[in-house]
A and B are shown apart, each in its own frame.
Chain A
Amino acid sequence: MAKKVAFMQGNEAAAQGALYAGCKFFAGYPITPSTEVAEVMSGELPKVGGKFIQMEDEIGAMAAVIGAALTGKKVLTATSGPGLSLKQESIGYACITEVPCVIINVMRGGPSTGMPTGPSQSDVMCAKWGTHGDHPAICLVPASVQELFEETVRAFNLAEKYRTPVMVMPDEIVGHMRERIVFPEPGELEVINRTQPTVPPEQYKPYDTQFGDVPPLAAFGSGYRFHVTGLNKMADGFPTTKAAIVQAEEERQVRKVEANRADIMKWEEYLVDDAEVVVVAFGSTSRSARFAVNEARKQGIKAGLFRLITFWPFPEERLLEISKKVKAFITPEMNLGMCTGVVKGCIEGNAPVHGIFRVDGEPINPNEILSKMKEVK
């Protein structure tokens, strides 16, 4: 049977990806440029017996998805910059309580209200450092409609597998562009569900590390009674201020992601092997970068593209390796140097890093990148 093919918008594809992954609950609040995700979910979820609720604010939407996740459902919310700022409180709550949830954040200009309809890539630091305290961070940065669908499925898998919030961050261009998408058949993409407890209810502890760094999560209403709190907690979920336990639990929460970087990280290397100039880019900017790399090759410049698909965790080790044999990195991004700084931080000064920064609501075009290649080659 021929696969289902469509001409579809990125945000709509993200919603379809969530449904493919088995999402059964969405809570949101209207915000440009992410609203289509909510619109699709409001129409599709009830068809599959799922629930959609438009909450009174962004804070409430994030809180509601966590509440729903604790009943065993796979949950999604969608937002953009100002909404992401508001959601940070409960994102931190989901980190410390270890509740799986997926947040789609379609990046627009900022700070504050910024440029609601303009593209940006300036929320990637907010994805890691937005909520206070130490916590794990997973942030995926797809570059096409197809990839936005697939990475949304993967976001649910990572959230379920590691019991942690996962952010999918298309820039506004990827969120709003329309292009061809080939829908995977059911079963074609892996779909992971959280581990359920095997111990009887009276023995169950929601943070019982005898089951490893990611203990099973029972559902409210399933016969398991347990306590969930945003305070630093013990294995049984109750608050503690005992220094050794707090230290160990905080480290475990971060280790869930850090020790599994290889499983979580994803990137694409295009003509990097013999490259002298490597462009590190993500999202829509990586599409301009690929075009520029192809043009450069035609002109005899040994250019390559290192395309981030996971922004957090960041593929530091691989970039360090590459840095030992290239003349320069170019880092085009729609912010004032967020990715550039991270690249500089992991390559130990092995090569210069030349940023191209735009925060004017315009995409970075291939010529800007090509000119920079000629300048630094």
Chain B
Amino acid sequence: MAFDYDKYIRPGKLPHIWCPGCGHGIVMKGLIRAIDAVGLEKNNTAIVSGIGCASRLPGYMDCCTLHTAHGRAAAFATGVKMARPEMNVILVGGDGDGTAIGGNHFIHACRRNIDMTYIIMNNNIYGMTGGQFSPCTPTGAKASTTPYGNPDPAFDVAKLAIGAGATFVARGTAYHATQIDKLIVEAIQHKGFSVVEILDDCPTTYGRRNKFRSVIEMMNRLKEVAVPVKAAEKMTPEQLEGKILTGVLHKVEKPEYTAEYAKVIERAQAAK
């Protein structure tokens, strides 16, 4: 039987705002399958976002949904999770929202290791505002504000998350649709701050400026650059040149923030 996405979609809120060929819908479907697989209760699940195309995702989901200010999803979500730790808190957003204006909240959510899952849809561009370069736009690429090519180096979102202390970091792509839910399932089940970067495509504002003649070409690029971590172990540095590792990149156990704060409460009440 076909999977019933309607169970998690708010009645009357589709169609979504995303352009034809955009990968965000693929990610949303992956997220829905993951929520279903883990068995999260809609009443007890908050989906929090910032601003941008990807950040419109919560509105379509029949959960407790919070569409916040640009870059602030992690900070709002931290308030939700701290105040009600029994809730499942999932953050979604794009690369500009999460790594530029929201960079500080992102790294500190990683550092605290607070039990939330952050799905970051990296399409290398600010799509909603018309295609300005983001911290994840490749050097040399064209954007509406880099007419002579992007002089900036790009972030590696996964490495940034690992460096900042996230205890689960995975990467998938919009091409590898069936892998997305598997990664998100593992991320949700992980106790601590989990980051799932999904390499995504923006045909409208990135593709057309960077010589991608079709969505299929953009999807094929995702297929070609992705190398599963296991496969990468057997490859030479030369073979890995220009490739991007996918799969679970990092997984460690560390004290989780709300559990640690529960101990603070115990200590405070014991001393009372």
Contacts and interface: CB of A to CB of B under 8 A. Distances in A.
Nearest to B80: A67
B79 A68 contact: yes
Interface stretch (B82-90, B120-128, B136-144): B82-90
Query: What does DSSP make chain B's interface, helix, strand, loop or mixed?
Result: helix
Q: Determine which residue in B13, B64, B267 has the highest number of CB atoms from chain A within 10 A of its CB, and name it.
A: B64
Interface in B61-111: 62-69, 72, 74-84, 86-87, 104-105, 107-108
Contact of B84 (A66, A71, A226): A71
A46 B80 contact: no
B46 interface: yes
A53 B46 contact: no
B76 A67 contact: yes
Nearest to A231: B67
Interface in A44-93: 46-47, 49, 51, 53, 55-57, 59-61, 63-73, 75, 89-90, 93
Nearest to A218: B64
A46 B268 contact: yes
B48 A67 contact: yes
Contact of A43 (B42, B65, B268): B268
Contact of A90 (B46, B58, B72, B74): B72
A347 to B, nearest CB: 39
Contacts of A222: 43
Contact of A46 (B59, B65, B78, B265): B265
Contacts of A46: 261, 264-265, 267-269
B189 interface: no
B272 interface: yes
Contact of B65 (A53, A55, A228): A228
B66 A67 contact: yes
B83 A63 contact: no
B172 to A, nearest CB: 27
B220 interface: no
Interface in B202-216: none
Contact of A230 (B67, B87, B269): B67
B80 A56 contact: no
B145 interface: no
Interface in A229-265: 229-231, 238-239
B272 A225 contact: no
A224 B42 CA distance: 10
Interface string A22-61: 0011010000000000000001001101010101110111
Given A67-B76, A70-B66, A220-B64, A225 B48 contact: no
A223 interface: yes
Contact of B261 (A51, A56, A70, A230): A51
Given A221-B43, A239-B59, A60 B268 contact: no
A66 B43 contact: no
Q: How large is the interface on A (under 10, 10 to 19, 20 to 34, 35 or more residues)?
A: 35 or more
A225 B75 contact: no
Given A53-B78, A55-B78, A231-B67, A221 B86 contact: yes
Contacts of B75: 55-56, 59-61, 63-64, 67
Contacts of A318: none
A180 interface: no
Contacts of B81: 67
Interface in B165-185: none
Interface string A354-370: 00000000000000000
Nearest to A223: B43
B84 A227 contact: no
B83 A71 contact: yes
A71 B78 contact: no
Nearest to A229: B67
Among the interface residues B77, B83, B86, which one has the most CB atoms of the partner chain A within 10 A?
B83
Given A25-B79, A70-B79, A221-B84, 15 more contacts: A25-B83, A27-B79, A43-B268, A51-B261, A60-B78, A60-B105, A64-B75, A67-B80, A68-B83, A71-B84, A72-B83, A220-B66, A223-B43, A224-B64, A231-B67
Interface of A: 24-25, 27, 43, 46-47, 49, 51, 53, 55-57, 59-61, 63-73, 75, 89-90, 93, 220-231, 238-239
Interface of B: 10, 13, 42-44, 46, 48, 58-59, 62-69, 72, 74-84, 86-87, 104-105, 107-108, 261, 264-265, 267-269, 272
The 4 lowest CB-CB distance pairs between A and B, nearest first, are A67-B79, A64-B79, A46-B268, A63-B75
